């Protein structure tokens, strides 16, 4: 098996955003996308008081990260889970809340660099693309069982592929000849179906289709839609949630959740701010931050990153109670 490499994106900036929340005894960070542990290693090195709970659905990545982080002893614990299970993971660790949560979304270096996982289109490999290789349908299953309409939706919505309908129709025709099993055959089909002028712009012609299949196989947007609000609820006062997104759909979802959490919940024309109506969270970053040209040249995967952070400034409101002392 190919040995993966790993270059965390915006590493110094991520640590700088998390550090204020982790600068006290007993501080805990949940790294929801542990991967090979690059971000976690930097946090453990730079934030001497912090412990990290690392979540990953990829058992191979967890094994490698545990080995890498072994020198930090009990300051690190790895958990096999999907990151929308963050509340359960925190509870299972005997905690009510944490001080930081980090998401580094999208496909990891671990998955891209290991040819056998089938995430990359540059080499022929089985069409797998599962982040958790122990369960669930593969990319081949999607290609071989979805209707033309379902495939069109996946390619259009998750890959923003202009030729989604054309590609879906070709897949349905070709799988009648033989089921799809490896990436080379799919790449060959994409070269045939995407017109030559379009192939000369926007990167590799397989990029959008492979991204769409990966997001469908791993149910990424639905998981993220559950995970971001759960992460926001999990942080105590002074705690921060930091998110790195690499796709416009991901970033839009994160932006919407952060904006809603930090918005004033009063009419805009109200002449005064009632006590207790202040936002309980504040945006730490102004809009989305991006990698500079130097980092992009060193690590091309940084080109599409969008970094956002939010901080809790007031405690979670307790449930409203009626005059009989029963929650409303």
The binding site for S-adenosyl-L-methionine comprises 37-39, 56, 83, 104, 111
Residue 244 CA to chain centroid, in angstroms?
7
What is the CB neighbour count within 10 angstroms for residue 56?
Answer: 28
Q: For tokens 């958790």, what's the residue? A: 132
Burial class of residue 178 (count of CB atoms within 10 Å of its CB; 0-12, 13-18, 19+): exposed
Known binding-site residue numbers: 37-39, 56, 83, 104, 111
Q: Quote the CA–CA distance of 173 and 148 in Å, as a whole number.
A: 10
Q: Where are the beta strands (DSSP E) in the chain?
A: 28-31, 51-56, 76-80, 98-104, 235-245, 281-283, 306-312
In this structure, are strands 235-245 and 281-283 parallel, antiparallel, or unpaired? unpaired
CB 43 within 8 A of CB 29: yes
């Amino acid at each position: 098996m190919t040995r993966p490499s790993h270059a965390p994106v915006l590493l110094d900036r991520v640590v700088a955003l998390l550090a204020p929340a982790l600068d006290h005894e007993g501080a805990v960070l949940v790294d929801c996308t542990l991967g090979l542990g690059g971000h976690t290693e930097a946090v453990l090195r730079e934030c001497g008081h912090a412990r990290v709970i690392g979540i990953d659905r990829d058992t191979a990545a967890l094994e490698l990260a545990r080995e890498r982080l072994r020198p930090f002893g009990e300051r690190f614990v790895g958990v096999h889970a999907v990151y929308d299970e963050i509340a359960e993971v925190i509870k299972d660790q005997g905690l009510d809340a944490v001080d930081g949560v980090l998401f580094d979304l999208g496909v990891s270096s671990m998955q891209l660099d290991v040819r056998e996982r089938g995430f990359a289109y540059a080499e022929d490999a089985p069409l797998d693309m599962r982040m958790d290789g122990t369960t669930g349908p593969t990319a081949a299953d999607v290609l071989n069982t979805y209707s033309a309409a379902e495939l069109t939706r996946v390619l259009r919505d998750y890959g923003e592929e202009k030729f989604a309908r054309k590609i879906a129709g070709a897949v349905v025709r070709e799988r009648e000849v033989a089921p799809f099993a490896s990436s080379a055959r799919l790449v060959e089909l994409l070269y045939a179906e995407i017109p030559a002028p379009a192939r000369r712009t926007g990167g590799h012609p397989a990029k959008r289709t492979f991204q769409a299949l990966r997001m469908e196989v791993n149910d990424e947007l639905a998981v993220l839609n559950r995970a971001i609000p759960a992460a926001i609820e999990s942080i105590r006062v002074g705690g921060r949630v930091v998110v790195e997104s690499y796709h416009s759909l991901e970033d839009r979802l994160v932006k919407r959740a952060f904006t809603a959490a930090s918005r004033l919940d009063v009419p805009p024309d109200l002449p005064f701010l009632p006590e207790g109506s202040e936002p309980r969270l504040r945006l730490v970053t102004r809009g989305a931050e991006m990698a500079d040209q130097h980092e992009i040249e060193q690590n091309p995967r940084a080109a599409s990153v969008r970094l956002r952070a939010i901080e809790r400034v007031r405690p979670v409101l307790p449930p409203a109670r009626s005059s009989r002392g029963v929650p409303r």
